[in-house]
Amino acid sequence: MGWDENSIYIEEVAERLQDVGIKALSIHGRTRAQMYKGQADWAPIARVKNNPRIHIPIFGNGDVDTPEKAMIMRDELGLDGAMIGRASIGYPWFFRECKHFFETGTHMAPPTLEERVAVAKRHLEMSIDWKGERLGVFETRRHYTNYFRGIQHFKPYRSRLVSSDDSADVFAVFEDILQEVDPDWLPKFGDRPNEQDTYRPSTCA
């Protein structure tokens, strides 16, 4: 939105960008000085959208980690959509959960163990296809914590997933997870892996 809290010029910048021909704009609710720290401020994003001069679609980003927050961006701030970032890293089911919530007003059940393993396996396969065995195995390690977040007694499996340099060993751990992890250890319905306190901007005027 700007370099720091004393130099937030996103409204002016949005007008200029529209004037030179952009067709849509996504705005992250933090400054350069904040980086990814602190809470995203959605109020300047809403002011851009509600600016009478702005006619292009405006999308909001920053701390959209629950379906409720995505709905706030649409229904309360009037934005054209929400751009999902960190909430979906290692948790690609977040998109379907948002869609389901928009359509029904209710939450979906968390992903099953089989779904989690299938996505982790596919990720590893694609990473190896793209970058080769060594790099593919290494770079996929950091995602396993998120894929299996919230599962009780999972530490021994996670340790094995992130310590092997051989993809065959990692695939074997996936099979062990399917055979040995008790479904009762998984997060229960209503558990939210990413949720922070629901945020509403102090003012959109």
* Confidence (pLDDT) at 194: 54
Q: Return the half-sphere exposure (C-beta side, CA atoms, 13 A cut-off) of residue 107.
A: 12
- Alpha-carbon distance of 49 to 7, in angstroms, equals 19
- Phi/psi region, residue 198 (left: phi>0; alpha: psi -120 to 50; beta: rest), is beta
Tell me, what's the pLDDT at 202? 45
Q: Identify the structural domains of the chain with CATH numbers, from first to last.
A: 10-104 (3.20.20.70), 113-185 (1.10.1200.80)
Looking at residue 66, what is its pLDDT? 94
Work out the number of other CB atoms within 10 angstroms of the CB of residue 187. Answer: 15
In this predicted structure, what is the pLDDT of residue 197?
45
Give the pairing type, strands 81-83 and 58-61: parallel
Write out the H or E segment, with its range, that includes residue 147: helix 144-147
pLDDT at residue 2, as a whole number = 79
**Residues with pLDDT less than 50, the chain:** 197-200, 202-205
Quick one: pLDDT at residue 1? 78
Tokens at residue 20, please?
Answer: 């030179």
Q: Is 138 exposed, middle or buried (0-12, 13-18, 19+ CB in 10 A)?
A: middle
